[in-house]
C-alpha cells in the first residue's frame, strides 16, 4: 500500500476515533487522545506485517499519529476553559505539530517518489535537460570512498577485458510484477552458461537491498525471473553476474514505479 495513503488515512482515523471517544462522557480526555493515536498505529503495524517499509517510514507514522492525538487533546482542553484566550505556548505547540505533519509528509514523498519534475527542473536547472535523479552513484559515500572508487575502476577494467554482452529485458514494463529476462554472450556472440545471476532492488541511498531475486537459467545464456516491486517510487536495480564465485559483471539501472 502507498505510504502517503497510510499516513493520511491514519490521520483521518485518529480524528474519527477522537470524535467517537467524545461520545463516552466518562472517558478522560488524555485516555481518549491516547486511544485515538495508538489504535491507528497498531492497525498500521498489522498492515505492514511481512512488508517492512523501513525504520524511517515507520518512525514518521509513529510521530505523526501521536502528534495529531496530542494536538486534539490540547484543543479540547482549551475549549473546556470557555472563552479564555489561548496562551501563546499552546498555539506554538499546535503550529509546530501541524507543521511537523506536512514536513514529514513532504520528506516521505521525496524519499520514495523523488522531487516532482517541475520543482526539480526549476530548482536544479539544466536548460531544459533532466539533471535530477534518484541514482546516488555506484560507490557508497563514506570514509572508505577513495578505496571503493579504485575497486570500482578495477572492476570496470576487468569487465571491459572480459567483453561480455549483457541484454536486460522487462525492466521497462508496467505494473508491480515484471518478467525479467537477461541474455549473456561473450565477445564472440556465443551464449555464456554456468552463470549465477541475481537482481538486487534498493532505494536510492539505502545501505542494504530491500529485495534480492536470483534468476534461473532457462536456456543457453538466458536467465529469467519475476520481479515484484514492494512499493511505488524510485528504485535502483542492480544486476550481478557471477561465474565460479567471481563477480564478472554488475550494472545499475534506475526504475520508477508510478
Number of domains in the chain: 2
The pTM of the full predicted model, rounded to 2 decimals, is 0.51
User: For the segment 176-226, what is each residue's pLDDT rounded down to a tens digit?
Assistant: 688 999 999 988 889 989 899 999 988 876 778 888 999 999 999 999 999
Phi then psi dihedrals of residue 246, to 5 deg: -115, 130
- Assess if residue 129 is contained within a domain: no
Give the CATH number of the domain where residue 198 resides: 2.60.40.1930
Query: Which residue range forms the structural domain that includes residue 94?
Result: 3-121
Which residues contact residue 223 at a Cβ distance below 8 angstroms, ignoring those fewer than 6 apart? 181, 182, 184, 195, 197, 215, 216, 217
Max mean pLDDT range (125-129, 194-198, 253-257): 194-198
Phi then psi dihedrals of residue 125, to 5 deg: 75, -150
Mean pLDDT of the 92-116 span: 75
Q: Are residues 249 and 201 in the same domain?
A: yes
- Assess if residue 38 is contained within a domain: yes
- Assess if residue 217 is contained within a domain: yes
d(CA 54, CA 61): 11
Q: What is the number of other CB atoms lying within 10 angstroms of the CB of residue 4?
A: 14
Structural domain ending residue among the three candidates 71, 98, 121? 121
pLDDT in the model for residue 182:
92
Beta-strand relationship, 222-228 and 165-169: unpaired
Amino acid at each position: 500500500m502507498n505510504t502517503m495513503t497510510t499516513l493520511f488515512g491514519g490521520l483521518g482515523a485518529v480524528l474519527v476515533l477522537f470524535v467517537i471517544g467524545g461520545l463516552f462522557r466518562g472517558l478522560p480526555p488524555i485516555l481518549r487522545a491516547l486511544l485515538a493515536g495508538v489504535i491507528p498505529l497498531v492497525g498500521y503495524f498489522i498492515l505492514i506485517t511481512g512488508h517492512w517499509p523501513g525504520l524511517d517510514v515507520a518512525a514518521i507514522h509513529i510521530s505523526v499519529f501521536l502528534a495529531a492525538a496530542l494536538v486534539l487533546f490540547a484543543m479540547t482542553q482549551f475549549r473546556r476553559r470557555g472563552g479564555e484566550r489561548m496562551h501563546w505556548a499552546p498555539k506554538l505547540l499546535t503550529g509546530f505539530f501541524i507543521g511537523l505533519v506536512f514536513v514529514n509528509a513532504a520528506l516521505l514523498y521525496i524519499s520514495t517518489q523523488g522531487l516532482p519534475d517541475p520543482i526539480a527542473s526549476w530548482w536544479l536547472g539544466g536548460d531544459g535537460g533532466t539533471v535530477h535523479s534518484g541514482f546516488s552513484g555506484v560507490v557508497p559515500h563514506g570514509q572508505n570512498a577513495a578505496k571503493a572508487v579504485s575497486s570500482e575502476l578495477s572492476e570496470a577494467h576487468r569487465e571491459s577485458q572480459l567483453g561480455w554482452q549483457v541484454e536486460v529485458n522487462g525492466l521497462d514494463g508496467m505494473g508491480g510484477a515484471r518478467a525479467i529476462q537477461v541474455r549473456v554472450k561473450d565477445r564472440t556472440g556465443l551464449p555464456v552458461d554456468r552463470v549465477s545471476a541475481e537482481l538486487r532492488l534498493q532505494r536510492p541511498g539505502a545501505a542494504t537491498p530491500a529485495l534480492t531475486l536470483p534468476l534461473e537459467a532457462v536456456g543457453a545464456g538466458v536467465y529469467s525471473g519475476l520481479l515484484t516491486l514492494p512499493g511505488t517510487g524510485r528504485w535502483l536495480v542492480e544486476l550481478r553476474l557471477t561465474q565460479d564465485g567471481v563477480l564478472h559483471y554488475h550494472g545499475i539501472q534506475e526504475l520508477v514505479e508510478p
